[in-house]
Every structure is written in C-alpha cells, then in structure tokens.
C-alpha cells in the first residue's frame, strides 16, 4: 500500500476511534460518578446484548485488579487502557470468553517457559500474567508505540516486576529497519492498532528488530513462549525468526486477521513441524490449515499434539 493511502486509512480509523472528536467528551460524561451508576445498572439489565467493554470505566478509578489463572496483578489507567477497562467490566477477567481463554492457555504454557516474548505487548497483560505464573521465566515485551510502551512499564513497576519484565519500545520484524510512529498523548484511548506497516507523516523513529536477533542477544535456552499481536504483520515477524523457530520451537499464541497473509505464515512455520489450533471460547480447535475467522482471531501454533496439550490441562475440541 502506498504511503499516502496508508496515511489516509490510518487517519480514517483514528477519526472513527475518536467519534470525530466527540468520543472523549462522551466518555468523560458517562464516567462521572452519578451517571456511571446508571450506566452500570443499564449494562446489567441489557446483559450480553451490549458490549460492556466499550463503555468507560468510572472517573478517578486509577487501577483495576486482574484475577485469572490463579494469580492477581493490577493494571493502571482504565480511563485510557483498553485492556484495563475490559478487566473493570469483566470483574478482573476479559469479558469475551475467547480472549480470556487465550490468556489462560498462555498462562498454562508459560509455567514451564524460560523465555517469554510478548510481541505487540500493548500495556502488558500477557507479560504480567507470564511473570506471575512463571517464577523462572525472563519476560521481554515489545511495543512499537512509545507512549504505550511507557504505560506498559508503569504497569510492570506497579506490580513490582521490573526485575522480571523488560519492556522495549521497539517493533519486531525485519532487523535493522525503522518505522515512524505518531507521537503524543491525544485520543480517548491508548492506540492498540498500530503496526510496522503503517506510515505517518511525522512522529518518532522507532527501531525494528528481528526475533532471531533478539533471541541471540538474550541467549536463553528453551522452552520458550511467544505472543504475537501485530495487526497483520505476523508473516514478517515469523519470516525473520527462522533460526529461533528451529532452535527453540516455541509455542506461539498469534492473532490472525481476515487480511493476514496466511500463506506466508504457514510457509514460515512449515519447516519446523508446527500444528495449528484455533482459540475458541472453551477449547482449542485443531485445524489442518490456517483459515482466518471473523469470530475467533487467536491461534496457537505449537509442535505439541492434542494429547500433549490435554495432558497439560488445556481443553482441545
């Protein structure tokens, strides 16, 4: 896609996210104490007919407590962090069953890991879960938006995990490349849809590193676990991870979008004996081919068989 077209689509998406300038005002209004009581009451009445995670958290709420996979941790700023807001409305868990199940699967696999790589970390929920459940794992989080990376570091510090989790303000893809990322703290929420393919006319220059280079520098033996959420550039991430895939055969939880280059993803994984499991609401669903689903975005790529996963307590359909 040409730079101008990318700028246009990025601008359009930002306008939709901000409701053409009105979203921040509406959110502030609905977050006020008296009004928010009515919002919660209405949400309780409507139940599953409304996506509660799209509603604002109450004003002046500074953090929420996550309770999942037998551990607890806090996440800051539910007024701006989309995941923290979800945890508020979900009572400490992610409201969408498939999102929470993906986190639970990740936590099970993290317990044995020596190395955890959170690629496209946003504000760090996967990193925090991994650090809590795996006492010996080193966790490295990579977030391409500097403002969001700073928020992830604040979450790590708030949980006393600065010695266990390292947050890198960097993209992951082709080693030695760079990307320009829009800077500033505007908008009603921290952006969760930027990728190394987007082009901005101005902003901060952010380095992009390959998984092969990252793992060589960290120099930890397997087992390893990876989460990839990079808004459609997972094919590039995996293409530049061939030595890592061969040496560590990590389990990989990966978001696949309808527009993802699934043929390139399969080609990158093919030489390394990976199986494909779609993450659904209560179980993994084995698939012979990688086929994007409009309903279920997350997939587990792993050399493990269904029997091996089931033996670890992970339900497989």
Say what percent of the chain tops pLDDT 70.
81
Average pLDDT rounded to a whole number, residues 175-180? 95
Q: pLDDT tens across 202-248, in order? A: 899 999 999 999 999 999 999 999 999 999 999 999 999 999 999 99
How far CA 156 is from CA of 85, 151, 229, in Å, comes to: 17, 9, 19
Of 80-94, 193-207, 268-282, least confident by mean pLDDT is 193-207
Contact 84, 76 (CB under 8 A): yes
User: By three-state DSSP, how is residue 242 classified?
Assistant: helix
What is the number of alpha carbons within 13 Å of residue 108 lying toward its C-beta?
Answer: 15
Nearest-angstrom CA–CA distance, 273 and 248: 12
Q: Give residues with Cβ within 8 angstroms of 301, minimum separation 6.
A: 251, 252, 253, 254, 269, 274, 275, 276, 277
Contact 152, 123 (CB under 8 A): yes
Q: Is 198 exposed, middle or buried (0-12, 13-18, 19+ CB in 10 A)?
A: buried
| 189 — pLDDT class (breaks 50, 70, 90) | confident
Of 39-43, 121-125, 232-236, least confident by mean pLDDT is 39-43
Nearest-angstrom CA–CA distance, 316 and 308: 10
The token pair at 242 is 């061939």
Q: What is the value of pTM for the model shown?
A: 0.86
Nearest-angstrom CA–CA distance, 281 and 258: 19
Strand order in the sheet with 224-228: 165-168, 138-142, 115-119, 224-228, 251-255, 298-302, 275-279, 284-287
Check whether 196 has a pLDDT greater than 80.
yes
Report all structural domains of the chain as residue ranges with CATH numbers, in order of start.
96-311 (3.40.50.150)
Check whether 26 has a pLDDT greater than 80.
no
The token pair at 11 is 């601008």
Other beta carbons within 10 Å of 292? 14
Nearest-angstrom CA–CA distance, 210 and 80: 29
CA-wise closest residue to 238 among 193, 163, 299:
299
The token pair at 48 is 């599953």
Of 129-143, 176-190, 196-210, least confident by mean pLDDT is 176-190
| Cis check: omega of the bond before 110, within 30 degrees of 0 | no
Q: pLDDT tens across 58-69, in order? A: 878 999 999 999
Of 102-106, 112-116, 195-199, 292-296, least confident by mean pLDDT is 195-199
∠ at Cα 256 (291, 300), nearest 5°? 85
């Amino acid at each position: 896609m040409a730079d101008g077209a990318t700028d246009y689509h990025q601008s359009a998406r930002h306008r939709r996210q901000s409701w053409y300038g009105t979203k921040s005002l509406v959110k502030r209004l609905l977050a006020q104490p008296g009004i928010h009581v009515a919002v919660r009451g209405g949400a309780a009445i409507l139940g599953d007919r409304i996506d509660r995670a799209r509603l604002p958290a109450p004003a002046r709420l500074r953090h929420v407590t996550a309770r999942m996979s037998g551990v607890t941790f806090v996440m800051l700023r539910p007024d701006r962090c989309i995941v923290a807001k979800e945890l508020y409305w979900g009572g400490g868990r992610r409201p969408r069953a498939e999102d929470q199940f993906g986190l639970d699967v990740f936590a099970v696999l993290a317990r044995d890991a020596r190395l955890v790589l959170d690629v496209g970390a946003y504000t760090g929920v996967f990193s925090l879960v991994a650090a809590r459940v795996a006492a010996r794992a080193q966790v490295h989080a990579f977030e391409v938006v500097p403002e969001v990376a700073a928020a992830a570091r604040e979450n790590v510090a708030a949980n006393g995990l600065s010695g266990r989790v390292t947050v890198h303000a960097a993209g992951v893809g082709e080693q030695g490349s760079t990307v320009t990322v829009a800077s500033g703290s505007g908008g009603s929420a921290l952006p969760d849809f930027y990728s190394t393919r987007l082009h901005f006319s101005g902003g901060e220059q952010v380095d992009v590193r390959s998984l092969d280079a990252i793992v060589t520098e960290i120099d930890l033996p397997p087992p390893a676990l990876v989460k990839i959420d990079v808004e459609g550039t997972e094919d590039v991430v995996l293409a530049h991870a061939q030595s890592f895939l061969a040496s560590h055969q990590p389990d990989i939880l990966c978001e696949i979008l309808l527009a993802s280059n699934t043929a390139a993803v399969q080609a990158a994984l093919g030489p390394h004996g990976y199986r494909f499991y779609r993450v659904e609401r209560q179980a993994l669903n084995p698939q012979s081919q990688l086929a994007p689903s409009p309903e279920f975005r997350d997939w587990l790529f792993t050399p493990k068989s269904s029997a091996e996963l089931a033996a670890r307590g992970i339900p497989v359909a």
